[in-house]
DNA sequence: TCAAAAGTGTTCTATCTACACCCATGT
DNA sequence: ACATGGGTGTAGATAGAACACTTTTGA
């Protein structure tokens, strides 16, 4: 008789920090794959819904709620030491909201997706898929709402897009696109921020996922 | 101690039959949900890869190999009678290749996706997701190769697109798009088929999935 | 008055959409 | 010769890409 496979949820948590797309990793302090960085995750025992389990993990790691969370892919035997199934999710968060756990010797840490070390459990592949998905969905959804605070300047929004897409965008075209598609709207307020003209503040017209 | 969740793979098998998108369903002859139609599927015990398990199920139901098969979504507790996880896949097949099992009293049967009965295990939702995915991917990939024989006429290809998208297309624009994007190429042969000009035959330039 | 970032419009190009006539064949 | 479906091109509309100058502020 085959032993029942282990089921885990894992979460790719993205934030834009220092104008770069970064992912939250934890340091494995026990075998298997001890000493490597890996995606946060945990076993699923069937007593809750799968997405609730992923969401609980996300809250545990970041302290933040009501984030954009989407199922990515399910992989078998990422951990070759035993029959296993891993259901991957990804989430987008504004780094300002994050309160990382700092109790351990090696606390969780952000890593740039374009400069990842070799990770445990083929997590590099999982992250590569997640990056591809986020890049694609940024184009035709409003999921960026989950990366930014309630109010933000157009420059901040554009920087988030540029960090994720990995290339620069034209300011005028970006503004037109965001306003014409009604993804965002002006709040009427402005923010003074140095020796230059103040930036108008915007908000997302919806903080629920919307397809364009 | 919670009992270990049951893990299953289920497969949404699509074909275009009678100018309509249809899905292959089996009839449940035992509880739970006895008497209802449902998607083919089976338990996964961890001894193979997950996709291999889905592919084996696909071969078992259709007798056909080398089909387009893609993971769709993983759902928890579709079957509420026990902790469970179902990993759904979808596949596209040319109905000409299918040899259905016919041994049972209620053999598997094709059902039009626009006129499904109430299915077991919330399978209606799974199929709705699969239909949405296929419609979307038809637009920016060549996955239709898996629905058609080696050689086909442009009319046959267009009919498949129309059946899946659910609306009619312009012949000239369709031809231009398929040829300009180099999804298909002429074979040089033609097929005589009635009291009218013969139709040129085409083949897919690639029978591996390609993004446009 | 100068430096720094914010705000704004137009032109060009490429892509998509709409649309009508001639062609090859079987009966 | 006629009915049937197959093959083809062009014009207009729409969406996306490229691009430069003016404005407001703090020092």
User: Would you state the structure tokens that stand for residue B12, as one six-digit string?
Assistant: 């949404």
**Annotated domain spans of chain B:** 6-137, 143-204
Closest CA relative to residue A200, chosen from A146, A150, A151: A151
Which phi and psi angles does A179 have, rounded to 5°?
-80, -40
Which chain B residues touch A139 with a CB distance below 8 Å?
none
Taking residue A172's Cβ as centre, other Cβ atoms within 10 Å add up to 8
**Nearby residues of B174 by Cβ (< 8 Å), 6 or more positions away:** B154, B158, B161
Nucleotide in closest CA–C1' contact with A169 = D17
Which chain B residues touch A76 with a CB distance below 8 Å?
44, 46, 49-51
Which chain B residues touch A79 with a CB distance below 8 Å?
none
pLDDT at B103: 78
pLDDT at A103: 79
Q: Specify the higher pLDDT residue, B105 or B50.
A: B50
Q: How many residues does chain A have?
A: 212
Distance from CA of B67 to the nearest CA of A (A): 20
Look at phi and psi of residue A117 and say left if phi exceeds 0, alpha if psi is from -120 to 50, else beta: beta
User: Would you state the structure tokens that stand for residue A124, as one six-digit string?
Assistant: 């590099």
In the CATH scheme, what is the code of domain B6-137? Answer: 3.90.79.10
E-only strand ranges, B45-161: 68-76, 84-92, 109-112, 152-153
CB distance A13 to A24 below 8 Å: yes
Minimal Cβ distance to A73: which of B3, B49, B71: B71
pLDDT at A102: 84
CA of B164 to C1' of D5 (A): 22
Which chain B residues touch A140 with a CB distance below 8 Å?
none
Q: Is the dihedral of CA A151, A152, A158, A164 positive or negative?
A: negative
> Mind listing the pLDDT tens digit for each residue in B21-67?
999 999 998 889 999 999 999 999 999 999 999 999 999 999 999 99
Q: Per-residue pLDDT averaged across B148-164, rounded?
A: 97
Distance from CA of B201 to the nearest CA of A (A): 35
User: Would you state the structure tokens that stand for residue A130, as one six-digit string?
Assistant: 């997640």
Distance from CA of B120 to the nearest CA of A (A): 19
CB A189 under 7 Å to nucleic chain D: no
pLDDT at A173: 97
pLDDT at B74: 98
Q: Which residues pair with A101 in a beta bridge?
A: none
CB distance A25 to A39 below 8 Å: yes
pLDDT at A1: 55
Nearest residue: Cα versus C1' of D4: B196
Nearest residue: Cα versus C1' of D25: A196
Place of tokens 């005589």: B192
Report the CATH architecture of A147-204. Answer: Orthogonal Bundle (1.10)
Does pLDDT of B1 surpass 80? no
- How far apart are the two ends of chain A, measured CA to CA in Å? 50
Q: Please answer yes or no on whether B7 and A2 come within 8 Å at the CB atom.
A: no
Report the CATH architecture of B143-204. Answer: Orthogonal Bundle (1.10)
Measured CA to CA, the distance from residue B184 to residue B202 in angstroms comes to: 6
Minimal Cβ distance to A50: which of B47, B51, B74: B74
Measured CA to CA, the distance from residue B126 to residue B25 in angstroms comes to: 13
Q: If you measure CA to CA, which chain A residue comes closest to B74?
A: A74
Which chain B residues touch A84 with a CB distance below 8 Å?
46
User: Would you state the structure tokens that stand for residue B102, as one six-digit string?
Assistant: 């016919």
Q: Please answer yes or no on whether B85 and A83 come within 8 Å at the CB atom.
A: no
> Mind listing the pLDDT tens digit for each residue in B7-18?
999 999 999 999
C-alpha distances out from residue A64 to A11, A54, A59, B137, Å: 14, 13, 5, 34
Nearest residue: Cα versus C1' of D3: B195
Measured CA to CA, the distance from residue A156 to residue A151 in angstroms comes to: 10
Closest CA relative to residue B147, chosen from B202, B91, B189, B71: B91
Exposed/middle/buried for residue B196 (C-beta within 10 Å: 0-12, 13-18, 19+): exposed
pLDDT at A19: 95
Report percent pLDDT > 90 for chain B: 89
pLDDT at A72: 98
pLDDT at B2: 65
Angle between helices B154-165 and B171-180 (to 10 degrees): 100
CA of A163 to C1' of D17 (A): 20
In the CATH scheme, what is the code of domain A6-140? Answer: 3.90.79.10
Which chain A residues touch B50 with a CB distance below 8 Å?
74-76, 85
Which of A4, A69, A141 is the best mutation test for B, with the most CBs of B within 10 A?
A4
Q: Please answer yes or no on whether B49 and A76 come within 8 Å at the CB atom.
A: yes
Q: Which of residues 164-203 of B touch strand C (CB under 7 A)?
A: 170-173, 176-177, 192, 194-198
Q: Which residues pair with A91 in a beta bridge?
A: A13, A69
User: Would you state the structure tokens that stand for residue B79, as one six-digit string?
Assistant: 């079957």
Q: If you measure CA to CA, which chain B residue comes closest to A6?
A: B4
| H or E element, residue B184 | strand B184-191
CB A192 under 7 Å to nucleic chain D: yes
Q: Specify the higher pLDDT residue, B1 or B15.
A: B15
Query: Cis omega (within 30 of 0) on the bond before A182?
Result: no
pLDDT at B101: 85
Q: Please answer yes or no on whether B76 and A50 come within 8 Å at the CB atom.
A: yes
Q: Please answer yes or no on whether A4 and B46 come within 8 Å at the CB atom.
A: yes
10-residue averages of pLDDT along chain A (212 residues): 87 97 95 93 95 97 95 94 96 95 88 97 97 96 97 97 96 95 95 95 96 90
């Amino acid at each position: 008789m085959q032993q029942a496979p282990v089921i885990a949820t894992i979460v790719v948590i993205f934030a834009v920090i220092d104008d770069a797309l970064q992912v939250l990793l934890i340091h494995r302090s026990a075998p298997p794959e001890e000493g490597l960085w890996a995606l946060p995750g945990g076993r699923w025992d069937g007593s809750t819904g799968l997405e609730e389990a992923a969401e609980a993990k996300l809250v545990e790691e970041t302290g933040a709620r009501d984030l954009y969370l989407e199922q990515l892919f399910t992989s078998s035997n990422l951990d070759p030491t035993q029959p296993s199934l891993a259901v991957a999710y990804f989430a987008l968060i504004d780094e300002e909201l994050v309160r990382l756990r700092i109790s351990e010797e090696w606390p969780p840490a952000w890593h740039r997706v374009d400069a990842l070390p070799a990770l445990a459990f083929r997590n590099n592949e999982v992250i590569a898929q997640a990056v591809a998905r986020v890049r694609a969905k940024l184009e035709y959804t409003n999921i960026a709402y989950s990366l930014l605070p309630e109010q933000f300047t157009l420059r901040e929004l554009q920087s988030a897009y540029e960090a994720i897409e990995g290339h620069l965008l034209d300011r005028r075209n970006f503004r037109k696109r965001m306003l014409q598609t009604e993804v965002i709207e002006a709040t009427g307020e402005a923010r003074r921020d140095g020796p230059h003209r103040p930036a108008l503040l915007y908000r997302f017209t919806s903080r629920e996922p919307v397809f364009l």
